[in-house]
Amino acid sequence: MNAFERLCPAPPSWAVRWDELRDLRPEADAHARRTVEALAGLDRWRGRPPAERARLFAAALLVDGGDPDSARRGELAARRRLWEMGVPIAWREHVCALVRHRRLPFGALEHPDLDRVAFRVSLLARNDDLALLATADVLARGGPGARALLDEVALFMEYTREIGCLDGPRAFASDHARFEYFRTPGRVGRDPGYAAFDDTRFTVTVMSGLPGSGKDHWIAANRPGLPVVGLDDLRDELGVRPTGDQGPVIAAAYARAREHLRAATPYVWNATNVTRALRSRCIGLAAGYGARVEVVSVEAPPDVVHRRNRARPRRVPATVIDRLAGRWELPDPTEAHEVRWVLNE
């Protein structure tokens, strides 16, 4: 049982124990406190199973009342905090998705790509959770516009029910159909139900994880014998330090990857790849050559990461690990044919 589950308001009093919550979110602003109180008073929240209540409680406590541009920063901060607390990966990512998309129900029907975002939320969390969190947010703010905002939340719930992703993951015809749908954002008239023809011919494995998380160990145990395009190896070959100019290393990596792709040879791309933008480049390259792409995200607790890093012959400065942890976006099912989350303790 994690701290959020232990301190989540429970019957019969449903009281929020703020004195004990200081360690979980010492910087919680007034709006976050009002949101938590509002959530704890909702019958729809109280009627949920304890595990579901705790996830929503964590999300309400971790959001803030900032502008919409703070959503990504809030997600990154929540992920790091929950990782440091040792919260299970799927539980953590459910909460992070709620923090990231907390404002989606407001004016959702005017969103330029609502289906795509709602489908992504459904694969990581639940849209009815998002609606509950939004309801608590409105009640916390109050004011003359509250009724209109609650109506927007109700419309969001009805719409996500109609498109099949209110309280569960959106179904796709296949892994390839899901990958192709999310790979083509903004395509007019694309059909999420379309069973895209799977013309993949071989598999490329893209690794993701902080230094010291255990990527090399996972590759040795699970992909023995495959060629590895490894950025650490290329740095050694080219004499480039981790803190130096990475341009030549990246160029060499892409050149080697293209050699394997032209020959339709399965290979492993081994790098930290902690952001979606970094992953999308090597995933897009592989997919363009007809590869099936699997992303393997390997992680370990913070103390293990730093201990392993100190024992490595190619030690990464602790400041670099800290910076990467602050930018860490976990791979999700919208990015590849298959995404694996591996805890390597």
Residue 296 φ then ψ, to 5°: -115, 115
CA 121-122-128 angle, to 5 degrees, is 95
| Token pair for 40 | 């704890």
- If one counts every other C-beta atom within 10 angstroms of the C-beta of residue 123, the result is 19
The CATH number of 202-343, from 3.10.105.10, 3.40.50.800, 3.40.50.150, 3.40.50.300, is: 3.40.50.300
Q: How far apart are CA 101 and CA 15, in angstroms?
A: 27
Query: In this predicted model, what pLDDT tens digit does every residue of 285-341 receive, in sequence order?
Result: 999 999 999 999 999 999 999 999 999 887 888 999 999 999 999 999 999 999 999
Which residues have a Cβ under 8 Å from the Cβ of 70 and sit 6 or more positions away?
64
Domain ranges of the chain: 3-162, 202-343
Do 333 and 176 touch, CB atoms closer than 8 A? no
* pLDDT level of residue 189 (50, 70, 90 thresholds): very low
Q: How far apart are CA 57 and CA 130, in angstroms?
A: 12
Q: Which residues pair with 296 in a beta bridge?
A: 207, 340
Q: How far apart are CA 97 and CA 90, in angstroms?
A: 11
| Token pair for 114 | 């609502």
Query: In this predicted model, what pLDDT tens digit does every residue of 234-282 receive, in sequence order?
Result: 888 888 877 778 888 889 999 999 999 999 999 999 999 999 999 999 9
